[in-house]
Structure 1
């Protein structure tokens, strides 16, 4: 049975120029227009959109909404090869790239997440703080050198991108000599449609290197995440397979560094535009952990991946038919005045906590959220301490924004260091 989702003529294009130019204003307009809307992504099939905080939170926490359309009773098996064929990925690599942790549901998801969580612990993340500080300071040294003659320095290229990918390489256990290669691969993997011709080679080379690292860590464990993945096991002896470990690493490299990259860029812009809030952080650096959660509330995540109801479910006054795709508008929810007072205002003293939906909620809450928050806290504090006179090198409306599904992302942020 085919369901007609709303009125196609009224569908909201999630990558429209209007949403890219003014996401806060456009989401506010849509949110007050209706709690449930019709949308599309790059002119694709229509989907339901959920715009208000209470409804979005329910969508991402209600187990009747699943991440994989094949989990809907009666649905046809998912063709894992379709998207891979479009990206020209060799079929022998599909098993390593499909069924990522955020694409599976139920018992399979609980098992994989439990095993991954036993390796990717809060203690392991906390132990990274000194190393994150070292990496941050080294990047700031390079920025200072590049801008010593007064030349503008691009924050995204010099800091926001290399910091998280370097930290992830450190965490995973990528050897120092191999990290420049992973910096390049990470850029390709995070924007696959812009590098379609390179994808087959990048996937084959990176998967081959990961399998080699797994074999070496199995013989000689180190204090890194791959060694911890190898050692993680359930009480009944269940362990992660090599395929599952490779898939987890790819998820971290793609989703992990991407979110932090955009969070850093957007946060610098927001703080430069709100000097009163920046002054509060300079007066009391202990505010940074709370401030980073507030900054994450305001971006960069615009919307999450589709969910699919396993039965007809009423949401926001609309019955969503079984199997229909429905997208949570995370930024719209996070700026809903029904939840937050003066929601578009940056307030580093706001007790945002973990109620915001920037990392999702429920069973699929972002596994890497503690790492992203720690990186942003360390990096932003160090950046504004090192360069107290930091400012934009161009007018705010000249910052180029990139159409990236699901994210508010500045392509370049030219800065004057002092």
Structure 2
């Protein structure tokens, strides 16, 4: 399977030229029609605003207008090969630089694609929220939020077609917390002693910033088309076959350049001045987010869902957390940067594995005590009561025996012995 994406662009001009040429070849050889937003139609779609008397924009009814000064574009987003054949093509239209939109993504699948190979619409919505996070640094919160299933109509080459819509919008405050929130609170309490609900106001604020995003799937002459939108209703979309891909290919290059320039303007993390850290706070923060992420992914896999790292554990914030922990480890343990990085890696993997293997490791007094002892052993090489378990994990990690049954059993046995002795005192 081969996949091309514009989500993380880097490289010189010859890199862009090579991508353009290869994309022309791929799309020129496409043996099925590919659909995109009809930007010319005034009956619906995503449009730039037309000048009105007095210099103001005059939006037409039902249209989503792209504001002046926005980063409006038509761009090839991705395509994927499966078993040597082009499996699908995705294009995007609208203002990519605004979480308000309007922005529409259209993915066209090869005829005959099995229904069980299509992503759930809920995951398609999360892909769009991932895009906003990766390109704009805006975290709209992990879904699902308040969900509605709607029956709408999308016009395809002048003909209205029924489409089932999955809409995800901000939840009202006071509604029951999701399973993800409850899991996050349990982990937070386990590693930092924060009582459940202490982050409710912060989480509620994040939810209030979530923007409505919808996704729908329709069939067009035997071809499956998935449409995702923000800032524009389904009825405001009109699709048509793309006859000339050139503007989409050039639009992709333009987007890649802008994202690369955006990345280049950022100061290297190692050179930044970070907020001061007290004691072992940075170590605990890295552990909290790593354990939360690990358990969330495990839950997704159990539910037969694609594993998706929570956005709060990705990107700039995650990198800053890690850098802060490495710097503090260098200071407390008198280690080099490389040594400190390896120490933090060993610590994080120790506690995420323990959370997966021991049912007492999350949400219990024993779990909180285990975190503290691993952190102190990492920073100070302290003679903690769980020292046999610490040394057992060090052997597992340094010897490359992470999946060896005997070594794993010895490590877990050491932790169980520590737990039993702790409860007896």
TM-score scaled by structure 1?
Answer: 0.25
Between Structure 1 and Structure 2, which shows a larger proportion of helix residues? 1
TM-score scaled by structure 2?
Answer: 0.25
Between Structure 1 and Structure 2, which shows a larger proportion of strand residues? 2
Query: Radius of gyration: which is bigger?
Result: 2
Higher relative contact order by CA 8 Å / sep ≥ 6: 1 or 2?
1
